[in-house]
Structure 1
Amino acid sequence: MSHPDRKKIYVDPRVQGALVKRLIIHWAMFIVASAVIAFCLQVLSNPFQSIGQHAQNLWWTHGPFLLVMTFLLPVFVFDTIRLSHRFAGPIYRLRQTIRTIAQGKPTARLKFRDFDFWQGLAEDFNRMVDRLSSHGVTEFVEDELECSPTTEAK
């Protein structure tokens, strides 16, 4: 089964934005806690040095770690957005399909990509629509459409 390329991975700003915000907050808390602990250990290792000397020693010993962590933050954010798209994308597509049905338009069977989360949700939704269709409540196009947030129903 083919998997069309996703053109848009940031489909639900509310959910995905909250995840990114939380990741950045946790990252910043980790950096601050690490810096405070490292500084305290630096001061305790030689309490007779000046604060400036401790800060300089701290930078030379732990500065590379801080730089690496700073450069890794965008990687962490991008990976979080990509991973969250595996559950935000299917929910976005489900919402679009529900809106289409609510407008009285026919829609294709809902099928998420193999690597997306919520596979059972698409199956349950299709069973529900089949049941409603058998009672004449909604019309369902018989072909399956592999759905992504950027794919429109046929």
Structure 2
Amino acid sequence: MKKTKRRRLLVDSKLQGALLCRVTGYWCLSLLVLVALVAVQVTLFSKEVDWSVTVNRTLQAFGPSLLATLLLLPLLLLDALRFSLRFAGPMQRLRGEVHKLANGEWDGPIKFRGRDYWHDLGVEINRVAEELEQLRAEHAAASEGTQREEVAST
């Protein structure tokens, strides 16, 4: 199979945007849980009762980890975006091909890239498309035959 590289990272901005928001939300939630756990640990093992001291020690204990995760977040988002291309790209292609098929403009079988998802759906859409094209051809031939009979009888 010919290897073609995608030119765009966003092929379905609504779907991929929602995915990136979800990844970011999970990242934020995990940070909140980790900060809370560190704060509880600092509070339990600290003899200080002052809230500002607890917050300061929590930030000191968690600061390097927070910085590391902040640096990793863009990589996580880029990876999620690239991974989403394996299912968003084929769906975008299927949407376009089904639109062409509905308008009688279908120009051949749908093909996906090697690592894409939904290959089986593409095969089934191709089967439906071939059947529809065959029915359209039969209908056109039958209509043509009916028109000839009408012309011959007049």
TM-score bin, normalised by smaller chain: 0.7 to 0.9
**Which ranges of structure 1 fall in alignment gaps of 5 or more residues?**
139-154
**AA paired with 1:126?**
N
**Which ranges of structure 2 fall in alignment gaps of 5 or more residues?**
139-154
Structure 1 runs of 4+ aligned residues shifted over 4 Å read: none
**AA paired with 1:134?**
Q
Q: Aligned residue pairs: how many?
A: 138
Partner SS, residue 34 of structure 2: helix
**Structure 2 partner of 1:47:** 47
- Distance in 2 (alpha carbons) for counterparts of 1:5 and 1:34: 39
**Structure 2 partner of 1:20:** 20
**Structure 1 partner of 2:117:** 117
Aligned-pair identity (%): 29
- Distance in 1 (alpha carbons) for counterparts of 2:64 and 2:137: 63
**AA paired with 2:90?**
P
Considering only aligned residues, what root-mean-square deviation do their CA atoms show, in Å?
Answer: 1.7
- Distance in 1 (alpha carbons) for counterparts of 2:137 and 2:51: 75
**AA paired with 1:81?**
L
**AA paired with 2:87?**
F
**Structure 1 partner of 2:80:** 80
- Distance in 2 (alpha carbons) for counterparts of 1:137 and 1:55: 75
- Give the TM-score normalised by the residue count of structure 1: 0.82
**AA paired with 2:116?**
D
**Structure 1 partner of 2:34:** 34
Partner SS, residue 3 of structure 2: coil
Shift of 1:132: 1.1
**Structure 2 partner of 1:150:** none
| Contact 2:97/2:106 (<8 A) preserved | no
Shift of 1:98: 1.3
| Contact 2:10/2:16 (<8 A) preserved | yes
**Structure 2 partner of 1:5:** 5
Q: Which structure is larger by alpha-carbon Rg, 1 or 2? A: 2
**Structure 2 partner of 1:142:** none
Partner SS, residue 116 of structure 1: coil
**AA paired with 2:26?**
H
**Structure 2 partner of 1:68:** 68
Cα shift readout 1:105-141 (whole Å, capped 9, x = no counterpart): 2322101111000000110011111111221269xxx
Greater CA drift, 14-23 or 52-61: 52-61
**AA paired with 1:72?**
L
- Distance in 1 (alpha carbons) for counterparts of 2:124 and 2:95: 14
Structure having the larger proportion of residues in helix:
2
| Contact 2:90/2:118 (<8 A) preserved | yes
